[in-house]
Chain A
Amino acid sequence: MPTETPRKQFQSPKKPKQSPNNVKSQSSTPSIHLSPQTPQLPLRRSSRRSLQLFTSKTVDEMLDLSTPRKALEALDGIGKCSGNNRKGSSVRTPRTLKCKFNEEDREIPEMGKVGEGNGEVSPEALESKKRKNGLSEEGSVKMGKSPKCKLNEDLGKLGEGNGDVVSPEKRKKGLRNEESVKTRKSLRCKLSEEEMEIPDLGKLGDATFFPVSPQALESKKRKKGGEKRAVTRAMATRSLKKVNKEEKKGRKRVYYKKVVYDGGEFEVGDDVYVKRREDASSDDEVPEMEECRVCFKVGRGVMIECDDCLGGFHLKCLTPPLKEVPDGDWVCGFCQARKLGKDVEFPKPPEGKKRVRTLREKLLASDLWAARIESLWKEVDGSYWFRGRWYIIPEETASGRQPHNLKRELYRTNDFADIEMESIIRQCDVMSPKEYAKANDQGDDVFLCEYEYDIQWHSFKRLAEIDNDEDGECANGDEDWNSCKEDDSDTDEDMEYEEENERNAHARPSTTPQLAANSRKGRFFGIRKVGTKMIPEHVRCHKQTELERAKATLLLATLPKSLPCRNKEMEEITTFVKGAICDDQCLGRCLYIHGVPGTGKTMSVLAVMRNIKSEVDAGSIRPYCFVEVNGLKLAAPENIYTVIYEALTGHRVSWKKALQLLNERFSDGKKIAKGDDRPCILLIDELDLLVTRNQSVLYNILDWPTKPHSKLIVIGIANTMDLPEKLLPRISSRMGIQRLCFGPYNYQQLQEIISSRLKGIDAFEKQAVEFASRKVAAISGDARRALEICRRAAEIADYNMKNQISSVNSSTVKDVVTMADVDAAIQEMFQAPHVQVMKSCSKLSKIFLTAMVYELYKTGMGETTFEKLAMTCSCLCTSNGEAFPGWDTLLKVGCKLGECRIILCEAGDRHRVQKLQLNFPSDDVAFALKDSKDLPWLAKYL
């Protein structure tokens, strides 16, 4: 079989290094599409597009030599290349090529059509078709597309290479007869073609293809260390798939968490430099240390980095020399001078020594790439691969470098690629802003990444900080998915075909039907679109004041590092959960937690679960599954079955079906899948909302834990202490006696909570915090309230400060939250504003209210009717020289007051018999109206 030979060649990646002249020819090619400037994006896009067509060749051509393809690759690149082996092959092949051309000429018009219409034809689709025809052995067909004329011209010029532009239908017929003749030769040229020059292809593509989707990440190509091969991002992906498919029946990929490769240890989640292209310096020793920009020597004492140009300087090379590294930002003299508008020249390196660029410099000049390893595996042929997630530098984004971008900033993309481990240079450190701020002396390979860049929509999004958790879960899910995918290889092709479709759909959203974003089926379809086109400057450049930091840390949404004052309760929960999990039976485990709102019930449970999860990750506890349900977020109590079942299995069924299935699982001990024997912890928040008329929901849920083999643990949270007693006895007995009470916080605890959050921020007077916590402790003991009061107080202080600064240009404004601010916040939060409204309301309303109070004093009855009140009003008016406005107006006044709920009243159409009542104590009215300026006589009646 002809397939044997290529395999061998493929498997030996350690080929002799490129011959020097070859290297030269490559590095000297004009790197049009590789230059990082954004204006050239469209060009690069198109080039990438054309490249994609060839991608799958690199690997699978080796496997199947039958296919007559190649015309395109052979175009320019081959002509230019001067590799030895290439020459040899080109000499040998002409005959085969000839006959090929004939065939090609016939077919190209069609191809052109296809190419133009789709932009990209998925090779998988073709391949699957072919398989069905029993051609699987022969490998896949690639569709090259380019206008006929161009191709012909080029072919004519080159007279070399065998074109593979074949439509699927043709291929089926044509291939058979020719394959045996061609294989060897075509293999030869194939090898040489690996050296093809992508820039040239890019040029070609430029002329022939229009840039399609916004998806284009530029055409990334890289050279493998030993082999001379240019691979694009897409190329890597495709080829791999194919290999995978071919060999699936036999062996499988082996996934690893950590791989030691070429002396380096690579783990999932690591960030690495990836080679991009072969150029002169990349074969040199990569400098571990940066050179000093002045003396051009490495080592010799401490170096300091300029925050502007990122150049390194020896402390003693500076003028004047520095003794130690200064705090804060430091800018070198050259940059300072440049900023002042002077023309500065960096010192030139000594003769004969070329300045060696570090990897970091190359990356930021986009001569290298960085990627994050998402998964690692060994291919069936023994080569190691990883799935990488590209990072890009700001210049490569649609919006270009923005003024607030840091020098060492990268963006994570949503663009993945399968890359061979060969191309990894070494590890680098891409950090979140928090880590980055701490990383002072971690070397040169430190980068900052705060945003994700969507290559389709060109929009930015912050990376979620809690991403890690979810990533972990996602990864698990993926693995499951992968494994089952590999189990049934029949459906596999379809799946990949679908994947391909999906990809295309993403690329051209207009042509494919969209799913609704808010429906379950759509699963937030298109939500990725949400993102900013530009990162707003105020977010990055603004330096937070103490008050703003205080506000941020007091937010309810910010998770504090430590959870003070609930240690005892948390310990209790921990022992409960651990005891339940470690027990083999998990019989009848149920915990009821109660306490007023804002006492940290849910937070404590979740913190405990986080701790336990980390222990599970560490391996000291067996895995379990955790389901969280909130009673108030369910549309109906019965829906809880659906939610639980979905959380456990991922399938969504109606609640009746879910109940039946859950009953089967928990009561009858029927296990559906293999993961089901894990204990399950069910957290039900706002348990009281599940109480239905016959309380069947609660009964069912609390009944399951009592069943043997159910392995279910229920933690219920609610506000009322006596909820179990209010329930039917059969339910409260099942709920068990294990209760945990979260009492309201007292003022010391509140104070501790607040000050633990404010640690390190000097924005509050000490008494102010104490005042706030005492006040809240006296009213409710609700930590949320206390935090909100402090935040509001900080906000008020901030507001006052900003106003004062804008009005008076004095720097004497103190930015500390005082008692007065806290008091204002408390007033705002706890005091109903009725007194102020009464003070400012209209004259008639005041008289009306006075009459109400007067009537109340006179009769001692809270409730009165409008008729009586109107009489009183008219009495008051006439005896004090006011004009009585008439009953109808008075009625309207009453209704207005009723609208604000200062008084309670019936609807206005009751008129004379309308019942009225004060909504606030009469003392408040008296207080508000006593010293009203326009109606001083009111005081007499109050």
Chain B
Amino acid sequence: MGREKEKEKLSEKALNLLRSRLSDPNFIFRPLPDSPDSNYSKLKFIISTSVTEACNNSILLLGPRGSGKVAVLELVLSDLLQQYPEAISVIRLNGLLHSDDNCALKEIARQLCMEHQLLFSKVASFDDNSQFMIAMLRECGLAHKTIIFVLDEFDFFAQGKQRLLYSLLDAMQSVNSQAVVIGVSCRLDVDQLLEKRVRSRFSHRKLLFLSPSKEDTERFIEHILSLPMDSSLPHNYAAEFNGRLKKLLSDERFKELIDTYLSFNFTIGHLVRFLFQAVSYMDLNAGFLSLGNFKTALSSNQRQLKLECIRDCSVLELYMMVCMKRLEVKEQASYNFYSVMTEYKSIHDSFQTSDYYAANVCLRAFEHLLQCQLISFIDNKGHNQSVEFRPVKLLISSAELHQGLKSYQQCPAILLKLMDR
């Protein structure tokens, strides 16, 4: 008993370690940087040259979500902050928060003030703030300090007149400063969004963050999941854990499983989420990762949401959907509650089903379908109209509906028949 408890404790410790690793971007992206082709070293080179050689740069980090743009950037910044502790100040903006030029400039001024222990005034105007920013750029340039502007969700800054980008980039081309503007975006065409004068001033360095190759993925999984041999964990436990992991990794079924998972979204962030889930399913008594854990994680990931929605519907709602589907088959492009009711009635009249409800009950069912987003209004017009008159559209395809009906336990046979006709 005591041994078992101890073992459980051990495995809990291992589990905690793995989880903390999986939620630490530094650990995840640390092994990638070494090679000269990696984005890490390229980015680090660009930023550190502007620190040491006193030049301005602007870089775009592009890549799908979850490919580690910000994580790598943070890694680079933390390394550089260690290397040049005094010489770098980082200003972080997010397009979702600061897409308005005025508030973005205010935020820049605020962070600059914070960074240099100056007093900040909330009421300063746009002009004041932009003059302050330019003055600071100049002063920092003279003091060999680099200001790094990180603009997350860069595409939101590239909207409207783009005053912020213009004044920033124009200052960088006219003032002797050392500043780096780093735009982070998942939109690949973000530089096309820039206004022509802004684009001309932008220095168009681009770093593309792509999904890792298959071999990298395997190495990556092993790197994350294998326990360290020189930690507080007992040596033989760690060794056994790693041995089993290795066996698991070489298992064909495991590879297939990972493939299926990644076939839909092939990014590191996505993979990490999956691994976290799988690790959390680890059996604490056994203390080792097994194929089963990964399978459970995969199945919990492959949920068909619309089908589950259908499973939760009442029979009446199913009737309504089938009616809509029949209307669509009849090439009736748009329908509202009353046309659906007519169809419903006609079904009832011809088949004499036991499930006939009054119109107000049907309306409730109709509203529920709207809330589930199984159906939706065609347009946003007619907000003042009552629900039953607005045209709606079925959001679920007939194939899905058919599948859903089949998996529905108490589905009346008549419905399946009606589907086919």
Tell me the A residues contacting B by CB distance below 8 Å: 459-466, 514-520, 522, 524-527, 529-536, 538-539, 542, 544, 548, 551-552, 555-557, 596-598, 630, 632-635, 639, 643, 686, 689, 719, 780, 782, 784-785, 788, 791-792, 795, 798-800, 802-803, 807, 828-829, 832-834, 836-837, 840-845, 867, 870, 883, 885-889, 892-893, 896, 899-902, 909-913, 919
How far is B44's CA from A802's CA once the two chains are assembled, in angstroms?
13
Contact (Cβ within 8 A) A635 B125: yes
Residues of B within 8 A of A556 (CB): 56, 172-173, 201, 203
A-facing mask of B156-169, CB < 8 A → 1, else 0? 00000101001100
Contact (Cβ within 8 A) B124 A520: yes
How far is B173's CA from A556's CA once the two chains are assembled, in angstroms?
5
Instruction: Count A-B contacts at CB 8 Å.
Output: 268
How far is B41's CA from A910's CA once the two chains are assembled, in angstroms?
42
Min CB gap B391→A, angstroms? 12
Q: Could you give 13 example pairs across A and B, Cβ below 8 Å?
A: A516-B121, A518-B109, A526-B119, A529-B117, A530-B143, A596-B196, A633-B127, A837-B210, A840-B211, A842-B266, A843-B263, A889-B264, A909-B395
Residues of B within 8 A of A557 (CB): 55-56, 172-177
Among B63, B265, B399, contact of A837 (Cβ-Cβ < 8 Å): B63
Given contact pairs A518-B124, A596-B196, A632-B166, enumerate 9 new A-B contacts (beta carbons under 8 Å): A524-B132, A557-B56, A557-B175, A557-B176, A795-B46, A834-B188, A836-B208, A842-B211, A889-B264
Do A529 and B116 form a contact, CB below 8 Å, given A556-B56, A899-B186?
A: yes
The stretch of B10-18, B134-142, B243-251, B311-319 in contact with A is B134-142
Do A633 and B130 form a contact, CB below 8 Å, given A530-B136, A889-B302, A912-B394?
A: yes
Residues of B within 8 A of A888 (CB): 303-307
How far is B63's CA from A719's CA once the two chains are assembled, in angstroms?
32
How far is B54's CA from A191's CA once the two chains are assembled, in angstroms?
56
Do A632 and B64 form a contact, CB below 8 Å, given A514-B119, A784-B201?
A: no
How far is B49's CA from A548's CA once the two chains are assembled, in angstroms?
9
B7 interface hit (Cβ, 8 Å)? no
Contact (Cβ within 8 A) A536 B84: yes
Residues of A within 8 A of B55 (CB): 551-552, 555, 557
Contact (Cβ within 8 A) A837 B397: no
Residues of A within 8 A of B204 (CB): 785, 788, 792, 828-829
Min CB gap A889→B, angstroms? 5
Residues of B within 8 A of A832 (CB): 188-189, 192
Tell me the B residues contacting A by CB distance below 8 Å: 36, 41-42, 45-46, 49, 52-56, 62-65, 84, 86-87, 102, 109, 112-113, 116-121, 123-132, 135-136, 138-145, 161, 163, 166-167, 170, 172-177, 186-189, 192, 196-197, 199-201, 203-206, 208, 210-211, 259-260, 262-266, 302-307, 373, 376, 393-397, 399-400
How far is B63's CA from A555's CA once the two chains are assembled, in angstroms?
27
Min CB gap A609→B, angstroms? 14
Min CB gap A888→B, angstroms? 5
Do A803 and B36 form a contact, CB below 8 Å, given A597-B200, A867-B397?
A: yes
Q: Which residue of A lies closest to B208 (CB)?
A: A833
Among A519, A531, A535, contact of B124 (Cβ-Cβ < 8 Å): A519
Residues of A within 8 A of B130 (CB): 633
Do A900 and B186 form a contact, CB below 8 Å, given A519-B128, A552-B55?
A: yes
How far is B394's CA from A518's CA once the two chains are assembled, in angstroms?
56
How far is B54's CA from A548's CA once the two chains are assembled, in angstroms?
11
Contact (Cβ within 8 A) B172 A896: no
Min CB gap B112→A, angstroms? 8
Contact (Cβ within 8 A) A689 B188: no
Contact (Cβ within 8 A) A527 B211: no
Contact (Cβ within 8 A) A782 B118: no
Contact (Cβ within 8 A) B163 A632: yes
Residues of B within 8 A of A460 (CB): 143
Residues of A within 8 A of B65 (CB): 896, 899
Min CB gap A867→B, angstroms? 5
Q: Which residue of B lies closest to A800 (CB)?
A: B36
Among B45, B64, B132, contact of A896 (Cβ-Cβ < 8 Å): B64
Among B49, B87, B188, B196, contact of A532 (Cβ-Cβ < 8 Å): B87
Min CB gap B83→A, angstroms? 10
Contact (Cβ within 8 A) B139 A886: no
Q: Which residue of A lies closest to B113 (CB)?
A: A517
Contact (Cβ within 8 A) B203 A526: no
Among B112, B127, B136, B167, contact of A632 (Cβ-Cβ < 8 Å): B167
Contact (Cβ within 8 A) B116 A530: yes
Contact (Cβ within 8 A) A515 B119: yes
Identify which of B126, B174, B188 gathers the most chain A CB atoms within 10 Å of its CB: B188
Contact (Cβ within 8 A) B52 A538: yes
How far is B324's CA from A913's CA once the two chains are assembled, in angstroms?
15
Among A527, A596, A829, contact of B135 (Cβ-Cβ < 8 Å): A527
Contact (Cβ within 8 A) A633 B166: yes
Contact (Cβ within 8 A) A635 B87: no
Do A841 and B173 form a contact, CB below 8 Å, given A519-B124, A633-B166?
A: no
Do A893 and B264 form a contact, CB below 8 Å, given A828-B206, A841-B64?
A: yes
Residues of A within 8 A of B161 (CB): 632, 689
Residues of A within 8 A of B393 (CB): 913
Min CB gap B44→A, angstroms? 10
Contact (Cβ within 8 A) A840 B176: no
How far is B180's CA from A183's CA once the two chains are assembled, in angstroms?
68
Min CB gap A882→B, angstroms? 9
Contact (Cβ within 8 A) B143 A532: yes
Contact (Cβ within 8 A) B64 A597: no
How far is B141's CA from A597's CA once the two chains are assembled, in angstroms?
26
Q: Which residue of A lies closest to B212 (CB)?
A: A840
Contact (Cβ within 8 A) A900 B188: yes
Residues of A within 8 A of B53 (CB): 544, 548, 551-552
Residues of A within 8 A of B129 (CB): 518
How far is B86's CA from A538's CA once the two chains are assembled, in angstroms?
13
Min CB gap A757→B, angstroms? 14
Contact (Cβ within 8 A) A633 B264: no
Contact (Cβ within 8 A) B139 A516: no
Contact (Cβ within 8 A) A792 B205: yes
How far is B127's CA from A686's CA once the two chains are assembled, in angstroms?
17
Among B64, B118, B144, B265, contact of A517 (Cβ-Cβ < 8 Å): B118
Among B127, B205, B259, B302, contact of A635 (Cβ-Cβ < 8 Å): B127
Residues of B within 8 A of A912 (CB): 394-397
Residues of A within 8 A of B128 (CB): 518-520
Min CB gap A935→B, angstroms? 10
Residues of A within 8 A of B139 (CB): 461, 527, 530-531
How far is B146's CA from A536's CA once the two chains are assembled, in angstroms?
12
Residues of B within 8 A of A536 (CB): 84, 86-87, 144
Contact (Cβ within 8 A) B45 A799: yes
Q: Which residue of B lies closest to A606 (CB)?
A: B174
How far is B64's CA from A902's CA once the two chains are assembled, in angstroms?
10
How far is B86's CA from A911's CA once the two chains are assembled, in angstroms?
52
Contact (Cβ within 8 A) B126 A841: no
Q: Which residue of B lies closest to A548 (CB)?
A: B53
| Chain A to chain B: the 9 pairs with minimum beta-carbon distance, closest first | A516-B121, A842-B266, A597-B200, A517-B118, A635-B126, A556-B173, A519-B121, A843-B263, A518-B132
Residues of A within 8 A of B189 (CB): 832, 834, 901, 919
Min CB gap A567→B, angstroms? 22
How far is B412's CA from A179's CA once the two chains are assembled, in angstroms?
122
Residues of B within 8 A of A551 (CB): 49, 53, 55
How far is B205's CA from A785's CA once the two chains are assembled, in angstroms?
11
Residues of B within 8 A of A466 (CB): 176
Among A785, A795, A833, contact of B49 (Cβ-Cβ < 8 Å): A795
Among A517, A785, A896, A909, contact of B120 (Cβ-Cβ < 8 Å): A517
Among B42, B64, B117, B394, contact of A899 (Cβ-Cβ < 8 Å): B64
Do A517 and B119 form a contact, CB below 8 Å, given A557-B175, A887-B400, A900-B64?
A: yes
Contact (Cβ within 8 A) B188 A527: no
How far is B57's CA from A425's CA once the two chains are assembled, in angstroms?
48
Contact (Cβ within 8 A) B56 A555: yes
Residues of A within 8 A of B265 (CB): 842, 892-893, 896
